[in-house]
Structure 1
Amino acid sequence: MQPITRLFFASALLVCTTAALGANADTQAREQWHGAIQNGYESLATKTEQLASAAVGYCNAPTSDSRPALNDAWLDAFLAWQRVRFVDFGPVENNNLSWQFQFWPDPKNLVARKARYLLGTEAPVNAEVINQSGVAVQGFPMAEYLLFDEQLNSGENALPAAKNCEVLSAVTRHMARNARGLADSWASFKQHYLDTGPYRDTTIKAGMTALEILEERRLAQPMGLRGNGKRNPYITDAWRSGQSLMAVEATVAGLEKFYLPGLITSLKTDGETELAERIQRQFEKVADNFPEAHAAMATLMESDERFRILQGLFVDVSQLSTLINDEAAVALGVVRGFNSSDGD
C-alpha cells in the first residue's frame, strides 16, 4: 500500500472512530438522563400519593398533629415536582401535564377564582369535576390555596370544612394519578428516547430554559430587577405558602442531580473538562446561598440588608445560567431557539 493511501485510510479510520465515540457518549448521556429523570418522576409519584393520603387522613380525623403533617406532605410533593420541572419534553407534554401540576404564572389570580367557585357550589366535587375544570384547578397551586391562603383559612371554608376537604381530596388524588401515569409513561418512553439522537440537544435545551425561567421570572421579576423596578413577592410561584425560595433550591438541586451528570458526560467527551468542572463548582456556589435563603421572599424584601441575600442568590444563578446557556451550549453546538423561555 502506498504511503498516501495508508494516510487516507488512517485518516478515515480516525474520523469513523471519533464519530463512534461521540455517538456512544451521546447515548451514554441520554441513558444517564433517562435513568435520573425516571428516579425524579418516581419520587414525584410517591410524594403526591403520600399527599393524597395525608389529605384524606386529615379530613377524616383532623388533629393538631395531622394538619402540620398535611402541610409538610404538600411541601414534599411540591419540591419533588420542582426537581423535575425542567423536563419540558416527552410524556409531560401530553394533556398539558406540566400545567396540570403547576399553573403558573397566574397574573389574573385564576386559581383563587376557580377555588372560590368550587367551594361555593353545592354539587359534589369529584374526579370528573376536577378533570373538566381546567389546569388552574388541578395541581399544586390549587392545593396550596386551600392549605395556605390566609383569607380562606380565616373563614367558614377553612380546613377541615367539609367542602374544602372534598375539593382538596379530589385535587390531590388527581395529582397522584397524573404523577404515577407520568412515571409509567417515561419508563415506556425509554427506548425511543435512547434511539433518537436529537434528544441530546432537546434535553440540554430543557435545562437551559429552566435556568432562564429561574433567573428572569422566578427571581429577577419579583426582585424588581426587570419591568417597573418594584419588588413584588406576589408574582412568585409559591407566595401563599412562603416557599418560593425552597422551590428555587429544589429546582437547582434537581438540575444538579438529574441534569448535570449527562451534561458533564457530553462536555468531557468534547474535551471540555475544565468547563464541566466550573459548572459543577457554580452549582455548589448556588447551593451555598441556603439555608440562609430559606425564608419567604416577602420577608427578604422588607429591608435592604435582607434583600442582599436575594441579590447574592440571583448573582450566583445568573452566573450558572451564563455558564450553561452560553459557554456549554456553544461548546456542544446547541443552538437556542428564539424565545426559548416562553411557556413554563
Structure 2
Amino acid sequence: MLSLTRSVRYLIPFALGLATATASAATTPRQQWKTDIGQGYQQLASSAHVLEQTASHYCDSPSADTRQQLEAAWKTAFLDWQAVRFVDFGPIEQNSRAWQLQFWPDHKNLVARKVSYALKQDKPVDAAFVDQAGVALQGFPAIEYLLYDADMQQGERALPAADTCHLLDTISTHLAGTADALASDWQAFGDYYVSMDEYTEKTVAAAINGLEILQDKRLAAPMGVRPPHKRNKYLGDAWRSENSVAAMRASIAGFKQYMVPGLTQLLNDAGHPELADKLVEQTDSTLAKANDLPDAMAPFLKTDEGYRKLQSLFIDVIQLEQVVEDRIAPALGITRGFNSSDGD
C-alpha cells in the first residue's frame, strides 16, 4: 500500500514550488535559468518520490508487475537527474548532493561493496545507517545495483528478500529527501542567484563542464578513444541497467530544456542572434543523433558498425561543446581559468 504520508510530504512543497516558478515571469537570462532549473529540480523531486512510493509498494506486494513498475520508476527518476546534472553550483554543492544522487565514476566498485556490507548486517539497516554509510550507498547507483546487478538476481538476498527490500526502501527514502531538499533550497537560492552577475558566467561554465564530462568521461572513456584504447562498457554510467546511452540522451535533452532558453536570450540581448541560432541548431542535431540510438551502450562497443554510430554522437557532442566554449563564451566575454573535466 502506498504511503499517504509520503505523498502529502511531497505534494505540498512541489505544488508551492511549481506555483512560484509559474508565477515568476522570466525577463532576464538568469531569471529564465532560475525558473527552468527550478522546474528541473521539481521534476526530479517528483519522480524521486514516485520511486520511493513504488519501492514501498513493490516490497509490500511483490510481483512481476510491481517489479516492472519499480524499474520504470527508477529509470524515470534517474533520467530526470541526468537532465539537470550539469548544474554544479548553488544548493547542489551542499553536503555532496551530486554524489549522494549519483556516485560515479566508481572505479573501485564501491557501490557493490557498500551494498554487500549493508546486507551482511545482523539486523536490517535503518535511515541512520544509510546516512552514515557514505554517498556510495545513498543514491541511484545503489538502487540500480539492487535491481540489476547479476549478483542480486538470485540467492537469498535477491529482491524481494525482506532485508534487501528494507534496504531498497531506506535508500529510496534518503534519495527522495535529497531531491526534496535540493528543489526547496533552489527556490530559496533563486533571488540571490538572479541578483548576482557572477552567476551568468557560472551557469555558462556549468554547461560547458557538463558537456565536457559527457564527451570525455561518459563517451570517450568507455569507447576507448584515448589510451589504452580499449572499449569498456563498465566505464559508462548506468551500465548495470543498460541505460548508458539513455542517460546521455537525457543530459542532452536537459541541456536543451534547462540551459538553451536562457543562453539564447543572453546571446540575443548581447547582439549575437547568429550564435543563438547556431546553438539551437547544434543542440537539436546532437539530440536527434542521441534519439536514434537505443538505451544501452554495450552492443555498440561490440561491432564496428555500432561503434561508428557512437562515434557520430561523439562528434556531435564535441561540436556542441565547441559552439559553447569556443564561440559563445568568448563572444560573451566569459573566460574559464580551470579544466572543468578534472571533476564531476
TM-score over 0.5 for the alignment?
yes
Matched residue count: 319
**What's 1:341 paired with?**
341
**Is residue 73 from structure 1 mapped to residue 49 from structure 2 by the alignment?**
no
1:292 and 1:309 in contact (8 A); partners too: no
For residues 141-188 of structure 1, the C-alpha deviation after alignment (integer angstroms, 9 at most, x for no partner) is 101001110122122211101111011100000000111111111001
Which 4+ runs in 1 deviate beyond 2 A? none
Q: Which has the larger radius of gyration?
A: 1
Look up the equivalent residue of 2:100 and give its one-letter code: Q
Task: Please give the per-residue CA displacement for 1:45-64, whole angstroms capped at 9, x wherever unaligned.
Answer: 00000001000100010011
The 5-angstrom pairing of residues 250-265 of structure 1 reads 250-265=250-265
Letter in 1 for 2:221: Q
Does 2:310 align with 1:304? no
Structure 2 contact 55–70 (Cα < 8 Å) conserved: yes
The equivalent residue for 1:41 is: 41
Alignment of 1:183-332 (within 5 A): 183-332=183-332
1:156 aligned residue? 156
Residues 223 and 232 of structure 2 are in contact (CA less than 8 Å); yes or no, is this contact kept in structure 1? yes
1:25-74 Cα deviation digits (max 9, x unpaired): x9700000000001000000000000010001000100111101100000
TM-score by length of 1: 0.91
TM-score normalised by the chain length of structure 2: 0.91
**Residue in 2 that maps onto 1:139:** 139
Which stretch shows the higher mean deviation, 227-236 or 282-291?
282-291
| Post-superposition offset of 1:229 | 0.5
Give the Cα–Cα distance (whole angstroms) in 2 for the partners of residues 338 and 27 of structure 1: 31
Corresponding residue for residue 31 of structure 1 = 31
State the 1:333 CA deviation.
Answer: 1.0
Q: Deviations over 1:288-319 (max 9, x none)?
A: 12443123111111110111111111111110
- The whole-number CA distance in structure 2 between the counterparts of 1:69 and 1:326 is 43
Q: CA RMSD in A?
A: 1.2
| Structure 2 equivalent of residue 107 of structure 1 | 107
Deviates more, 1:329-338 or 1:173-182: 329-338
Equivalent AA in structure 2 for residue 248 of structure 1: M
Q: Percent identity?
A: 46
Name the amino acid aligned to 2:31.
Answer: E
Q: Distance in 2 between matches of 1:194 and 1:290?
A: 32
Structure 2: how far apart are the matches of 1:301 and 1:54?
Answer: 33
Q: Distance in 1 between matches of 2:167 and 2:95?
A: 21
Q: Is the 8 A contact 1:105 1:237 kept in 2?
A: yes
CA–CA distance in 2 between the matches of 1:292 and 1:274?
Answer: 27
* C-alpha distance 265-93 of structure 1, shift in aligned 2 (>3 A): same
Residue 214 of structure 1: how far off its partner (Å):
0.3
The answer (yes or no) to whether the contact 1:27–1:194 under 8 Å persists in 2 is no
Corresponding position of 2:9: none
Give 5+ residue unaligned stretches, structure 1.
1-25
CA positional deviation for 1:100: 0.3
**For residue 250 of structure 2, what is the amino acid of its counterpart?**
A
Secondary structure of 2:206's counterpart equals helix
CA distance in 2, matches of 1:308, 1:68: 32
Structure 2 residue identity aligned to 1:40: G
Aligned to 1:121: 121
Q: Report deviation, 1:286.
A: 1.0
Q: Which amino acid aligns with 2:33?
A: W
Given residue 173 of structure 2, which amino acid in structure 1 is its aligned partner? R
Q: Which has the higher contact order (CA 8 A, sep 6+)?
A: 1
**Match for 2:43: what amino acid?**
S
CA contact (8 A) 1:222 1:234 kept: yes
**Partner AA of 1:106 in structure 2:** D
Q: Secondary structure at the match of 1:249?
A: helix
Distance change >3 Å, CA 178–CA 194, structure 1 → 2: same
| SS state at 2:159 partner | coil
Instruction: Determine helix, strand or coil for the equivalent of 2:334.
Output: coil
CA contact (8 A) 2:216 2:341 kept: no
- Name the aligned partner's letter for residue 69 of structure 1: Q
- SS of the equivalent of 1:189 reads helix
Q: Deviations over 1:70-106 (max 9, x none)?
A: 0000000000000110110001101000110011111
Give the corresponding residue for 2:12.
Answer: none
User: Which amino acid is 1:145 matched to?
Assistant: Y
